[in-house]
Amino acid sequence: MRTDYCGSINTRYLDKTITLYGWVHRRRDHGGVIFIDLRDREGIVQIVCDPDNAQAFAIAEKIRNEFVLEITGTVRHRPEGTVNPGIFTGEIEVLVSTIAILNASATPPFQMDDDNLSEAIRLEYRYLDLRRPAMQHNMRLRHKVGMAVRTFLDQQGFIDIETPILTKSTPEGARDYLVPSRVNSGHFFALPQSPQLFKQLLMVSGFDRYYQITRCFRDEDLRADRQPEFTQIDIETSFLAENEIMGLMENMICHLFATTIDVALPASFPRLSHIEAMSRYGSDKPDLRIPLEFTELTDLMREVPFQVFRDAAQKPDGRVAALCIPGGGELSRKEIDEYTQFVAIYGAKGLAYIKINELAKGLEGLQSPILKFLPDTVVQEILSRARAQDGDLIFFGADKAKVVNDALGALRVKIGHDRGLVEDTWKPLWVVDFPMFEWDEEENRWQALHHPFTSPREGHEDLLTTDPGQALSRAYDMVLNGVEIGGGSVRIHRQDVQAKVFQALNITDDEAKEKFGFLLDALQYGAPPHGGIAFGLDRIVAMMTGTDSIRDVIAFPKTQRAQCLLTHAPSNVEEKQLRELHIRLRKTEIANS
């Protein structure tokens, strides 16, 4: 019977007999003495097989990497000069008395300490990839984060309640994953994009404080921080306003970081309105570690001869903004051209610039292909607003406000990283006062910026019917180092207000009844004021580990094409199964499968 884990053995165990189980990380034959690095989830310990123990030595000669072993032996000091200070067990070794091979292993496709593996190989052999120390660390940290969340919320009176996985399709956000019903021919369940409606119903039910660490599903285009199935820390509470909810969640995130990775976040997070975040950073999730901000120039450019700037400034939805890069004057033309190509990804048609060589020389101290199109007074005002210094460079964005914000916002982050301007710290904040709606040009109608159950700000209810584009919401996003880790809002708890929101979204009464009738009915029966938030567990753990991809903190993730390389899912199914589900595939779909 195991007495201890491999990675837990140190000098406290000297002269003790212990029994260990684990995998062979590496075997080394040093001219008569065989050394085995035995690994389990806690770490590695060095095992010594001496030829004086003939039976154990004979077994050790047969051992190869990733064999599963049972070892019994005595803990002793490592010989002088062989101590390994880089690991917890580095001062000791275990002299084998008995050894048993519990299972052999085929030669693995990679070494467990190889850090240069392709992701495809890692995902195909995920069960081996998860043996690697880095992945073991990630999974253990994920466990600790979940436990810290549960501990905190339990102490605050929250109740863990499960909500359905098979539910009704309400396609107002991303695409649903649909599940055909065998017993209800032609009907479908949907996998939940979030437990949003059910957690609101739980507030109507009087549970007051609910939470759940739950799986959610969205059939959407994937990126490094997206998966078709992901894990959400879902929270809802009654009778608290947004400031109280935000304060409680600040405490939870601070507790989380302090107890899992020993990081002290600020006791109170700064707050930025959505309009201020977009104005200063071009993003509703700004990375405050980067000390670069936009300079607003729209008002200055409405009458300039330079048509690109003038036209953008005169558009109702246009913007002209600048980004001043300290020391950016040293950028080569090649580097500037590369940044121009970069912003083109976001729809920018170009990237004008001014290099400030020597301010004391006036215009003669500046270098730019656009100076001849700008009045001297305008140039001086640009320099003044941007607080430019000798050696700086100013980039410009001029287009629709969305294009300018997206392009310069992404450029701000890229340059911040390229030029080493990112502070080595944690910078959380809240972004608040979001618009209720955003205009969808393709569908020619308003869309909910968050979701259609978000409450408007006090005094903005009338705008829902008179001027929806000006209505602000009681929504709030928590942002950490440029990543949105959580988003929530105070919900609509009155049926008349919910009806106005549906009207603004061009959802008819019949559509609302069909999609959300059960919620609308529930709001009639004494729904309390309530609000909540959902945090992306995968994103939080990924940030804590420093990985760029949430796939590194999910045990069995999908690829960017929503495929599982381990199980080869999704896959074809038998015709019998399709018939039972009342499904017939089109021939073109079969040919492409």
Q: Is 537 annotated as a binding residue?
A: yes
φ, ψ of residue 9 to 5 degrees: the values are: -85, 130
Q: Is 218 annotated as a binding residue?
A: yes
The gap from C-alpha 449 to its chain's centroid, in whole angstroms, comes to 19
> Helices marked H in 262-356 — which ranges?
274-281, 307-314, 333-344
Q: Is 227 annotated as a binding residue?
A: yes
Residue with tokens 């803990």: 75
φ, ψ of residue 98 to 5 degrees: the values are: -135, 150
Which has the closest alpha carbon to 455: 200, 158, 205? Answer: 200
Q: Which two tokens stand for residue 160?
A: 């863990």
Q: What is the DSSP string of 112-134?
A: TT-----HHHHHHTHHHHTTSHH
Q: Which two tokens stand for residue 139?
A: 């999974």
Beta bridge partners, 366, equal 356
Q: What is the DSSP string of 31-92?
A: TTEEEEEEEETTEEEEEEE-TTSHHHHHHHHH--TT-EEEEEEEEEEPPTT---TTSTTTTE
Q: Is 172 annotated as a binding residue?
A: yes
Residue with tokens 């018939």: 579
Q: How many other C-beta atoms are found inside a 10 Å radius of the C-beta of residue 35?
A: 16
Q: Is 220 annotated as a binding residue?
A: yes
Residue 91 near residue 10, CB atoms below 8 Å = yes
Q: Is 491 annotated as a binding residue?
A: yes
Rounded Cα distance between 101 and 60, Å, is: 9
Q: Is 219 annotated as a binding residue?
A: yes
Total residue length of the chain: 593
Beta strands 393-400; 353-356: pairing state: antiparallel
Q: Is 215 annotated as a binding residue?
A: no
Q: Is 338 annotated as a binding residue?
A: no
> Helices marked H in 282-332 — which ranges?
307-314
From the annotation, which residues make up the binding site for L-aspartate? 172, 218, 450, 491
From the annotation, which residues make up the binding site? 172, 218-220, 227, 450, 484, 491, 536-539
From the annotation, which residues make up the binding site for ATP? 218-220, 227, 484, 536-539
